[in-house]
Amino acid sequence: MRNVSHLLAKDILIGFILFAVVPQLMAAEDFAELEADPVGMNWNLSEEYDMVFLTISGPNYFEAEYTFEHGERVGIHLYDERGNLLEDGVYTYQMTAYRLESSRIFDILARVRENQSPEEMRLALRTFGDPTSVQVQTGTFAIQGRVPLVPHEDETTDQDELERALVYTDDIIVMGSECVGVDCEQNESFSFDTIRLKENNLRIHFQDTSSNTVYPTVDWRIVANDSNPHGNALFAIENADSNVRIMTLRANAGENSLYVDDQGEVGLGTSNPQEMLHLMDGNSPSVRLDQDGSSGFTAQSWDLGGNETNFFIRDVTNSEQLPFRIRAGAGQNALYINTDNRIGFGLANPESYLHVKPAGAYNDMLRLETAGFPQVIYERNDANTPFTWISGMDNDRAWVIRPDDNSNNVFFKVDTQGDVTLYDDLTIDSLIANNTVFANNVSSPNATFSNTLTAQTITATTINYTNLVQNSPRGLARQVDTGVLLDGMENLDFYTYGTENGVVFAPNALAFNRLLGGLSANESKGGISIGNLATAAMAGVKELVQQLAARDEDIATLQDHAAHLEKRLIALEARLSECECVKNSSKKAGEPADATMEMGDR
């Protein structure tokens, strides 16, 4: 007997010989009976064979191969080559027996026999052999308490006494179904199942034994159902190293809860996904974004969903408010954000940062609505010359324009009655107003019109104008110079006329009408309009009042001038009186009269 231990299980295998060399393989009943003695295991062959190979595997990766020639007893000792007793446990063996009829094979085997290598023996058989028959027998035996045990017929080693494990050093092919688990039955009915796991705790464990740090070594586990009482019915995949459950499928999940089609498109609730991710549900399919606070940030949840009414974003945390909605049926490009961040409403090529273009003809293009006072802010954020304008509703509900500065002064105002107030200088080319224009800023009370101002009433401190025209419901009005009118009335002659209604006192109709510059329907027949006559009288009175006021100012000026002259006269008289006193004093002192006169002259 030649013993070669601890050879690699994947080395030139017996299975290769059986399928690649042997034309016929006899898989009949066992041809050797296994028996144990105090020091080892023996196989009693029912027939003689020319060559026998024995492969044994056991606990802690134990592997050994033995070669037996014709006439040698087939058996092993319980001690290895170093004299160490084999460990307790279950051992698996495979024995292959050959009958050889070619003298050529015996000659070749004799040449390699001196090397005492089962590998070379098998290689010789594989290369030059021509075996007419081969028999293979597999089985198990056990060692417990240093005592070899052989299972009885129809009996396997008890798991409570020994490890219940079979170790194969070759590939295993099961041509049928396989049941694994303590609850598998003798006549298991597999139906269409190929592999069945059957017991009360079902797990499949993937243990990676890689030792090199460049290779991944994470172990994985497939779990079917929780093991704890009242646990969940589920199918899960776990990271066995960290004991983290990465994926879970609950038992009551609906059909097509997760479906991946041939294009890699994922369906949730559908077996016919139309996009890379397709969600289907009978009522408002949604996606939840849930920040749980585990990273130190405030918990917040959002939903993105859609139904027959709208697409929406829901703030779940804050009373499930809907801050964003798109109604079903919204038009093309209802909201469009271009690559330059310009926003279009109703168009895909916005020409400003906010461009609104409805499909039809609408008037209400923009509406600002609030319980306060809505305003629009126009801000230039340049670092050197920043400025901000505010326009909108003021506290008194008037529409105003003002700068956003510390003064908070209003420059322009339109109140709820329609009156317009300008609080500063006004310079315009043309202004047409049907009601009232006010320009009454105290610091700069000027309203300058370079062309034409047309209005019924203008109230201002100072008005500089090129052409001021009063408009009335009767048509375009021409301003009348009341001074010229009064001068013309001074030259009018007045007459008495006898009419059917009595005597009428009036000016000459032709001269009066020429004075006004036009004729009414009645005046064209030689008459005088009573309204025009009354208006002319009013204009004359106005002009007289203005002239009287002007003369009063002149009189006041003359009175002031006379008073000033009177004061100067009094002062002069006082001066002369002083001079007279000096003259009299000189005479009393005996001074010549000539000297006195000289002083008076000076």
CATH of the domain at 55: 2.60.40.3080
Domain that holds residue 520: 482-541
**Of all helices (H) and strands (E), which one includes residue 34?**
strand 32-37
Q: What is the pLDDT of residues 484-531, one digit of tens each?
A: 777 777 777 777 777 767 777 777 777 777 776 655 544 445 567 676
Choose the final residue of a domain: 433, 458, 476. 476
Q: What is the pLDDT of residues 133-186, one digit of tens each?
A: 678 898 888 887 777 777 644 444 444 444 444 556 678 888 889 999 889 988
Whether 507 and 457 map to the same domain: the answer is: no
Whether 589 and 511 map to the same domain: the answer is: no
Whether 472 and 486 map to the same domain: the answer is: no
Which of 367-371, 373-377, 478-482, 500-504 comes out lowest in average pLDDT? 478-482
Whether 390 and 435 map to the same domain: the answer is: yes
Whether 591 and 462 map to the same domain: the answer is: no
Q: What is the pLDDT of residues 92-139, one digit of tens each?
A: 899 988 877 665 566 666 655 555 566 666 666 655 554 556 788 988
Q: What is the pLDDT of residues 21-55, one digit of tens each?
A: 333 334 446 889 988 887 788 999 988 888 888 99
Residue 142 lies in a domain: yes
Rounded to an integer, what distance in angstroms lies between the CA atom of residue 250 and that of residue 244?
17
pTM across the whole model: 0.48
Choose the final residue of a domain: 149, 177, 208. 149
Q: Do 311 and 325 contact (CB within 8 A), yes or no?
A: yes
| Ramachandran assignment for 355, one of left (phi > 0), alpha (psi -120 to 50 degrees), beta (any other) | beta
Q: What is the pLDDT of residues 320-347, one digit of tens each?
A: 999 999 999 999 999 999 999 999 999 9
Whether 471 and 586 map to the same domain: the answer is: no
Residue 40 lies in a domain: yes
Q: What is the pLDDT of residue 248?
A: 97
pLDDT band per the 50, 70, 90 thresholds, residue 581: confident
Choose the final residue of a domain: 125, 149, 173. 149
Whether 596 and 506 map to the same domain: the answer is: no
Give DSSP secondary structure letters for 352-392. Answer: SSEEE--SS--S-------SS--EEEEEE--SSS-EEEEEE
Residue 120 lies in a domain: yes
**SS3 of residue 226 by DSSP:** coil
Whether 455 and 495 map to the same domain: the answer is: no
Whether 505 and 419 map to the same domain: the answer is: no
Which residue's structure tokens are 């698996």? 92
Residue 157 CB burial class (10 angstroms; 0-12, 13-18, ≥19): buried
| Structure token pair of residue 345 | 């409403």
Residue 46 lies in a domain: yes
Rounded to an integer, what distance in angstroms lies between the CA atom of residue 18 and that of residue 136?
9
HSE, CB side, 13 Å, CA atoms: give it for residue 311.
5
Whether 6 and 145 map to the same domain: the answer is: yes
Rounded to an integer, what distance in angstroms lies between the CA atom of residue 330 and that of residue 324?
14
Number of domains in the chain: 4
| Residues belonging to the chain | 602
pLDDT band per the 50, 70, 90 thresholds, residue 587: low
Q: Do 41 and 34 contact (CB within 8 A), yes or no?
A: yes
Chain-centre distance for alpha carbon 349: 22
Rounded to an integer, what distance in angstroms lies between the CA atom of residue 55 and that of residue 8?
11
Whether 500 and 537 map to the same domain: the answer is: yes
Whether 125 and 38 map to the same domain: the answer is: yes
